[in-house]
Amino acid sequence: MHRTLNSQSILHLTDYGAPYEGNFVASLRALEQRLNADGIRMLYVFPKRAGDMPWAQNMRREKPNVFLIERNGFFAYARQIRKLLRENDVAILHAHFIHYKEKLAALFAAKTCGHRVDTVLHLHNHLAIPKSPLRALPQRFYLSFVSRFVCCSRSVAQRLIADGIAPSRVAIAENAIAFERLDTFDPVDRASLGIPSGEQVALMFGFNYLRKGVDLAVEAVRSLREAGEPVTLAVVLSSRKEEVEAAILQQLQAQELPAWIKLLPARSDVASYYHLADVFLSPSREEGFCYALVEAVYCKTPVLASAIDAQKDLALPPEAFVPPEDAAALSNAIQRVFHTPDTPERTQALEAAKRRVVDSYALNIWSESVIRVYSEIHA
């Protein structure tokens, strides 16, 4: 691949505009460094709204290969992409997070730019293909033009193949974690968050109330408190705070949140939250790949996760799993974690779990997995 791609470029087209760079952009940076070493240029394309984010502003100051484009209609969007493909001699267009119409526009641009452009569709979650053959027809038509699908987990790949995509067109590149960003953090004082002294803290990320299983965590913690356990549920939200709060209030049939539920804003030094917690929860109903679970394990925070396929794929200890959709089982598991003595054996187990995730989800492993895909489609 490296010889045939020399002097050509790879374009990463994304709809990523989160407040923080996170693991996704860190992964792209690691991939760029690896490709640059082989003389291959990489371009970043982010949505216009990302230009308001400090991480994107820094990238644009550092690099001439970072572009912002507007989602302003099918043909206008396709023209912007086609222009970049032509002017930068792009050989591979690699798309992440973009919506249905933007996928169509990107494929159209790749097919009409005047030279060969292979296309990679990166799935960071399950791809929803309608069960009805008639309703699925338009989606299957445009998917037929994708050169290769890269899936963030084995679970996502298996479902894609079950939905009729040929296994030869599907690859797996398990998501990577920028572990070094978890090594530096400002400790959070529990009192500053209104958490009473002596309370245990169960932490979770819950921007999507049902998908992330916030309702299950609320029910599990409520039952623990009714049994006399001093536990606070801390839910970190990067967005949708009002929506999640309203759903919790409806579930509890309350006018205001009880003191034992804290809705916390996202932080760039996310490790501060993992070190605050006594247990990290991921009672999700669906996941593609749960970054937070792996991050919590790296920070040596005990974790509990619903035993759904995408989470069972992760390098987690067997005792981390609880049955899906089972608030009572989650409650019992939280209580077990809280009452497990802090022994040398427990410390060793947490250290061993940390080593497993470092060995499985490092940035260079992800980069090499993606490069193998490029080699196969552009041989």
Residue 328 sits in the same domain as residue 373? no
Looking at the structure, tell me whether residues 292 and 373 fall in a common domain: no
Whether 367 and 326 share a structural domain: no
The total number of structural domains in the chain stands at: 2
Write the pLDDT tens digit of every residue in 70-109: 888 899 999 999 999 999 999 999 999 988 889 999 999 9
Instruction: Quick: pLDDT tens for 260-318.
Output: 999 999 988 999 999 999 999 999 999 999 999 999 999 999 999 999 999 999 988 88
Give the pLDDT of residue 3.
Answer: 44
pLDDT digits (tens, 9 = 90+) for 123-149: 999 988 888 888 888 888 888 999 999
Strand partners, 46: 68
Mapping DSSP to helix (H, G, I), strand (E, B) and coil, where does residue 119 land? strand
Q: Are residues 210 and 221 in the same domain?
A: yes
- CATH number of the domain to which 332 belongs: 3.40.50.2000
**Domain enclosing residue 302, as ranges:** 183-360
Kindly tell me if the per-residue pLDDT of 2 is higher than 60. Answer: no
Residues 154 and 238 grouped into a single domain: no
349 in the same domain as 219: yes
The per-residue pLDDT for range 204-244, each reduced to its tens digit, is: 999 899 999 999 999 999 999 999 999 999 999 988 899 99
Contact 152, 173 (CB under 8 A): yes
Beta strands per DSSP E along the chain: 9-14, 41-47, 66-69, 90-96, 118-123, 148-151, 170-172, 200-205, 231-237, 261-265, 279-282, 303-306, 321-322
Task: Give the pLDDT confidence score for residue 6 in this predicted structure.
Answer: 65
Q: Tell me, what DSSP letter sits at residue 180?
A: G
Is residue 146 domain-shared with residue 213, that is, in the same domain?
Answer: no
Instruction: Report the candidate in 53, 85, 87, 50 with the shortest Cα–Cα distance to residue 69.
Output: 50
Domain identity same for 305 and 371 = no
By DSSP bridging, strand 148-151 and strand 9-14 are unpaired
**Quick one: 121 and 230 in the same domain?**
no
CA atoms of 311 and 308, how far apart (whole Å): 6
Residues 6 and 75 grouped into a single domain: yes
